């Protein structure tokens, strides 16, 4: 068992700990018990995490807590109105109270979906996150963005609703398919590219080892990423002062690619983010904001770890106009202007409010398919 680390997300009365430690899943019962008031615990998970669910329930049982679980089909398509209704109905049928804490066990899909259900059930009940993908451990379980996708695009219906506790057991990543591990790694690299050039250099040095199963590198990446996200969320919980928007680096391009691919598993979120970040850097270079070498360095690293570095590698053949049409649904859109996360260099990302979508369209049309 590895010694643990705790990062606090500092949000005044809604502050909460993010505990990180090998073997934590088997001690989850004792960590969760203080939230549960002795009531049976409702767990929502997806079918691929069934073995981890068994361990979680055993640990709750050892802490004297009964539990019930709802197992959902895996995949992005579960972030839908239909599955939201299913989760809400299941929790209501078992008598969820505002003071309860529902446990979300799974990747970002389960965390976003269950978090949103908890934001709206009885106008808000509690929840805890037990993330089981690298992406969820380094990003989605922390910070309280919850929601679902709609026919119009990604995450267009949702709420800010913070969990009361996040329990991260890096060992559960041993069962994660390599493709999912790599996708989550894209969000790790993001923190380096936002404002931490040294961390990007660390990724260049250690990323391949991390993806090959180096447990030390994995824990380092998780702890560093969680600390970075906690800092940003504490500075701008509701994405109003430009700080939290930095976490959207690569996402305006990336969400357009995901929407175009159709949420069918052919292009998963982290892959779309990697391609989106590479595009954001190339667009920045084309505008003379950063050196072409910086954009090349970013694309080279993504390619080296098997992540897409643009439209062709992401399998997107759509025109610039089609992709820009997806972008018009972006939640950052303000009075007809879409701010973009661009880069003045590695670790020097910023929110640029001067981008004309016609330029984005021309740039995308010039990208190889
Ligand atoms: N709220 C946020 O701040 C935030 C941040 C980043 C991403 N997201 C959202 O997160 C979602 C993507 O999350 P994700 O990449 O975790 O995808 P996911 O939840 O679909 O999980 C990926 C796959 O891994 C499987 N899985 C999960 N844990 C496993 C394990 N330990 N072993 C084996 N299989 C396992 C799942 O069943 C699924 O098939 C997207 O919807 C994205 O928009 C939200
Ligand atoms: O926590 C945030 O803030 C993020 O932007 C993290 C992103 O990685 C994540 O994909 C988020 O869901 C994107 O949010 P959206 O509001 O742009 O849909
Ligand atoms: Zn993301």
Does pTM top 0.95 for this prediction? yes
Task: Please tell me whether 132 is known to bind a ligand.
Answer: yes
Residue partners of 217: CB distance under 8 A and separation at least 6 = 206, 209, 210
Task: Please tell me whether 251 is known to bind a ligand.
Answer: yes
* pLDDT band at residue 3 under the 50/70/90 scheme: low
* pLDDT band at residue 1 under the 50/70/90 scheme: very low
Cα–Cα distance, 9 to 16 (Å, whole number): 5
Q: Do 316 and 345 lie in a common domain? A: yes
Number of domains in the chain: 2
Q: Has 248 been annotated as catalytic? A: yes
Any ligand 2 atom below 6 A from CB of 332: no
- DSSP-assigned beta bridge partners for residue 70: 44
Which of 144, 175, 206 represents a domain boundary (last residue)?
175
Classify residue 249 as left (phi > 0), alpha (psi -120 to 50) or beta.
beta
Q: Do 92 and 223 lie in a common domain? A: no
- Cα separation values, 71 from 48, 154, 158, Å: 9, 23, 22
Mean pLDDT of 256-283: 97
Residue partners of 266: CB distance under 8 A and separation at least 6 = 315
> What angle, rounded to 10 degrees, do the helices at 320-327 and 357-366 form?
140
* Phi, psi of 331, deg, nearest 5: -70, -15
* DSSP-derived 3-state class of residue 202: helix
Mean pLDDT of 242-252: 98
pLDDT of residue 338: 97
Q: For the domain that residue 84 is a member of, what is the CATH number?
A: 3.40.50.1970
Whether complex ipTM tops 0.90: yes
> What angle, rounded to 10 degrees, do the helices at 197-211 and 292-304 form?
20
Give 37: exposed, middle or buried? Use CB within 10 Å, 0-12, 13-18, 19+. Answer: exposed
Q: Do 17 and 123 lie in a common domain? A: yes
Residue 2 in this model has a pLDDT that exceeds 60: no
Any ligand 2 atom below 6 A from CB of 247: yes
Q: Do 147 and 294 lie in a common domain? A: no
Q: Do 15 and 99 lie in a common domain? A: yes
70: domain range?
5-175
Q: Has 206 been annotated as catalytic? A: no
Q: Do 183 and 328 lie in a common domain? A: yes
Which of 158, 175, 192 represents a domain boundary (last residue)?
175
Any ligand 2 atom below 6 A from CB of 180: no
Q: Has 187 been annotated as catalytic? A: yes
Do the beta carbons of residue 84 and residue 116 sit within 8 Å? yes
Structure confidence by residue, pLDDT tens digits, 225-235: 999 999 999 99
Residue partners of 190: CB distance under 8 A and separation at least 6 = 139, 247, 249, 250, 273, 277
Strand order in the sheet with 165-168: 5-9, 16-20, 165-168, 126-131, 101-106, 41-46, 67-72
Q: For the domain that residue 287 is a member of, what is the CATH number?
A: 1.20.1090.10
HSE (CB half, 13 Å, CA atoms) of 273? 21
Structure confidence by residue, pLDDT tens digits, 198-218: 999 999 999 999 999 999 999
Tokens of 187: 């969000």
Task: Please tell me whether 108 is known to bind a ligand.
Answer: yes
């Amino acid at each position: 068992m590895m010694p643990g680390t705790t990062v606090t997300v500092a949000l005044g009365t809604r502050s909460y700990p993010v505990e990180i430690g090998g073997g934590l899943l088997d001690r989850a019962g004792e960590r969760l018990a203080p939230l549960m008031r002795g009531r049976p615990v409702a767990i929502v998970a997806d079918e691929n995490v069934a073995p981890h669910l068994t361990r979680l329930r055993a640990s709750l049982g050892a802490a004297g807590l009964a539990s019930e679980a709802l197992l959902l089909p895996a995949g992005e398509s579960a972030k839908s109105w239909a599955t939201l209704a299913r989760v809400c109905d299941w929790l209501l049928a078992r008598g969820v109270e505002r003071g309860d804490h529902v446990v979300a066990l799974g990747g970002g899909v389960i965390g976003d979906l269950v978090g949103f259900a908890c934001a709206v059930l009885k106008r808000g009940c509690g929840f805890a996150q037990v993330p089981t993908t690298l992406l969820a451990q380094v990003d989605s379980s922390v910070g309280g963005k919850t929601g679902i996708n709609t026919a119009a695009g990604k995450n267009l219906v949702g709420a800010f609703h913070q969990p009361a506790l996040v329990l991260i057991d890096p060992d559960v990543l041993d069962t994660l398919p390599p493709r999912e591990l790599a996708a989550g790694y894209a969000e790790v690299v993001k923190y380096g590219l936002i404002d931490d050039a040294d961390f990007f250099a660390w990724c260049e040095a250690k990323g391949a080892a991390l993806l090959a199963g180096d447990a030390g590198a994995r824990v380092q990446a998780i702890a560093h990423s969680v600390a970075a996200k906690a800092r940003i969320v504490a500075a701008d919980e509701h994405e109003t002062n430009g700080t939290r928007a930095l976490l959207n680096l690569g996402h305006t391009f990336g969400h357009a690619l995901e929407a175009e691919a159709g949420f069918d598993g052919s292009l998963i979120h982290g892959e779309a983010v990697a391609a989106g970040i590479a595009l954001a850097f190339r667009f920045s270079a084309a505008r003379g904001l950063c050196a072409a070498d910086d954009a090349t360095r970013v694309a080279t690293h993504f390619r080296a770890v098997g992540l897409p570095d643009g439209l062709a590698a992401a399998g997107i053949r759509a025109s610039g106009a089609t992709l820009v049409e997806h972008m018009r649904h972006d939640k950052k859109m303000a009075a007809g202007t879409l701010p973009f996360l661009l880069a003045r260099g590695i670790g020097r990302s910023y929110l640029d409010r001067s981008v004309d979508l016609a330029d984005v369209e021309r740039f995308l049309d010039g990208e190889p398919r």
